[in-house]
Structure 1
Amino acid sequence: MKIAQFFVVIWLSSMGFSAQAASFDCKKAQTVTEHAVCDHRQLNDADVKMATTYTIIKRLVPMGTRGAIQDQQVKWLQMRDQCQDNVSCLGDVYAMRQQKLDLYMNRVYQQGPF
């Protein structure tokens, strides 16, 4: 039963991202990095997955942990933006962030609140 609830949460959270390509509006992309994410399907998909995982985790962790994760996200965005339009760099940075978020997700899954 826990697994079914977990997938329902993921599905409901991802619905908000289905109307656009990236987790942000590509029509309003301003930075070189944002344009690179919008222009490359692999980065686009990585961005949506990362943003979905991030949103889910923020809703499931306690406030102290939530603040730490939000601070990490801000630092990660700064690091991501340093890649500019280097697709390889961006791919590595997205993979690194997703791995970290997956660790949080695994902790949430192991501890509840399901």
Structure 2
Amino acid sequence: MKDLKIVLLGSVLLIGGFNLTHAASFSCDKAKTVTEKAVCQNRNLNDADVRMVTTYNIVIHALPMGGRDAEKGAQYQWLKQRDSCRANVSCIAQCYSERQKHLDDIVQNRILTQGPF
């Protein structure tokens, strides 16, 4: 559990060192969808993307195989939902907020209490 807390802290510290040409989950220079371009153009959305993908990566590496597969499927569905927002900033922000809450719940209620794997 101490190692996981160190990873979480390290991830938080890394978040501060990015620039707006690269969000955590994609390169803004290669943004293809209207939604990705909106994320790159809005600092709050970009920050939400960085936080969400950092938490997602922690979750994926800490869950057992079955949970990992389920969460990858949920992430794919979430991306489709987020992209359906198009350039609607409040819709995109709401999607990030809901996904972040879900991932935070996994970290708090499953990983930190039960341990990885």
TM-score per shorter chain, which class? 0.7 to 0.9
For the pair 1:110 / 2:110, whether they are aligned, the reply is no
Number of residue equivalences: 112
Q: Which amino acid aligns with 2:112?
A: Y
TM-aligned CA deviation for residue 101 of structure 1: 0.4
Let me know the Cα RMSD of the aligned residues.
2.1
Which residue number corresponds to residue 89 of structure 1? 91
CA distance in 1 between partners of 2:15 and 2:69 (Å): 22
- Residue 51 of structure 1: aligned partner: 53
In structure 1, what is the Cα distance between the partners aligned to 2:113 and 2:29? 39
Aligned-pair distance for 1:7? 3.2
CA distance in 2, matches of 1:16, 1:92: 20
Alignment partners' CA distance in 1, 2:77 and 2:16: 22
TM-score by length of 2: 0.86
Provide the residue aligned with 1:38 in structure 2. 40
In structure 1, stretches of 5+ residues that fail to align are none
Deviating above 6 A after TM superposition, structure 1's stretches of 4 or more consecutive aligned residues are: none
Q: Contact 2:15 / 2:50 at 8 angstroms: preserved in 1? A: no
Counterpart-to-counterpart distance in 1, 2:64 and 2:16: 24
What percentage of aligned pairs have identical amino acids? 45
The answer to whether the Cα contact below 8 Å between 1:36 and 1:87 also exists between their aligned partners in 2 is: yes
Q: TM-score by structure 1 length?
A: 0.88
| Matched AA of 1:110 | T
